[in-house]
Amino acid sequence: MKKLFLWYSGTGTEAENMRIFFNIAETDTIKVEYINGLGTKGNLSATKTLLDKKPSYLDGIFDLLNQKKTLAFGSEEHDQLAQIEHFFKITDKINSADEEVELIIGGHSRGAAVGILGLIASLRETCKRDSFENSLIKKITFIVVDPVPGSSEVRGLSFLGSKNDLLGFETLEGENKIKSALDFIAAKSKKPNLFKVIYFPARFDARNEFKADQYWLDFYENQRNNLSVVNPKNNEPVIETKFYIAGFRHSAMVDKNEEISELYDTVNCPTNLLKEIVKHELEISNSDLNAIQKGIIKIENNALLNLASNIKNLKLTERTTKNSYNLIPYSGESLENIIKNNSLTNTINTNNRYLY
């Protein structure tokens, strides 16, 4: 099966940084595409090019984007156009000689909360007119890494933008909008097991302004409670779903500087887990993901228990306060204070992230 890997970078993250991070070589059966994050100069430049040329396959999407703009760098442009355009670029690598194709679409931060959701919304809109029924695409896997849409208000400024980039996603019916959209696309395409979702949030981030996305949390909680629901025709999950968790900072999985690497070893750490998840989906690694996840959980839970017992790890304590982010003043409570004021149970939810 041919694998097409598409990665939506987070706000301000250049595509080249993620290319270096994953270090995946293209082959005859593996093709990759990395997308500049919203708010980067590369994303703005690509969008301006699209606005000038307006490729035919973007007809209709321009209408969906009318008056829906981000407020990061290039606030006067429809800068998500460049992100959607990459989906068409990666699918152009499908040729008639391919028997089956799997799309693996990942993203971090707004790349997951805005990029992937915007793509799902545009696919749903497309399926009203045309579907994947006769397409060589047999599977679409989403790798959703700590999705954060961003706060519309930071000190009175729309620093991170808002949810206006979702191409109408927020107007969809139903409480679990993601599942409803995926079910609609799969049904229209007559491919009942079209989708797989890998949800990989951080365990904690001290900043209230980086609250994890509610749409993806709703999807996660619904799927967690319904993992036994299968398609009666083939006894497979309706939407195959995998869950991972790691990291005490929002970008712990994509940036060694954010990982607090002193806590971990080289295998059992957030950045390695993400790399291995992607390689596993591309079938270029047979590492035991469950073992890596268990190793990380053991390390992180021990750190939390030590903190609750007043056995401090200075690096962990320092890096899990709102003051450890130097860009602008954020609001939020430190990990140490949360641990002191709550019992360690799996019900602790801070900014839509389960701490323990």
> What confidence tens digit (pLDDT) does each residue in 267-315 have?
999 999 999 999 999 999 999 999 999 999 999 999 999 998 988 889 9
Lowest mean pLDDT among 59-73, 120-134, 330-344: 59-73
Q: What is the pLDDT of residue 79?
A: 45
- Least confidently predicted of 75-89, 187-201, 243-257, 327-341: 75-89
Give, in order, the Cα–Cα distances in Å from 169 to each of 166, 174, 191. Answer: 5, 11, 22
pLDDT, residue 74, reads 32
The pLDDT confidence band at residue 66, using thresholds 50, 70 and 90, is: very low
Amino acid 81: pLDDT: 52
Contact 215, 239 (CB under 8 A): no
Interatomic CA distance for residues 246 and 56, integer angstroms: 41
The 10s digit of each residue's pLDDT in 140-150 is 999 999 999 87
Give percent of the chain with pLDDT exceeding 90: 49
Which pLDDT band, with edges at 50, 70 and 90, does 353 fall under? Answer: very high
pLDDT, position 159: 42
Our measurement of the distance from residue 169's CA atom to the centroid of its chain's CA atoms, rounded to an integer in Å, reads 16
What's residue 306's pLDDT?
93
Lowest mean pLDDT among 33-47, 96-110, 117-131: 33-47
Give the pLDDT of residue 67: 32
Number of domains, the chain: 1
The enclosing H or E element of 8 equals strand 2-8
% of the chain surpassing 70 pLDDT:
76
Chain-centre distance of CA 101, in angstroms? Answer: 21
**Residue 76 confidence (pLDDT):** 36
pLDDT of residue 69: 35
Read off the tokens for 104: 């693996």
Domain extent, residue 234, equals 2-354
Residue 158: pLDDT band (50, 70, 90) is very low
- 3-state percent breakdown (helix, strand, coil) of the chain, nearest 5: 40, 15, 45
Angle (deg, nearest 10), helices 177-189 and 214-224: 70
Beta bridge partners of 137: 101
CATH number for 144: 3.40.50.1820
Torsion sign (Cα): 98, 102, 108, 111: positive
Rounded (10°) CA dihedral 70, 38, 142, 117:
0
Given a cut of 90, is residue 77 above it in pLDDT?
no
Q: Is the pLDDT of residue 248 over 50?
A: yes
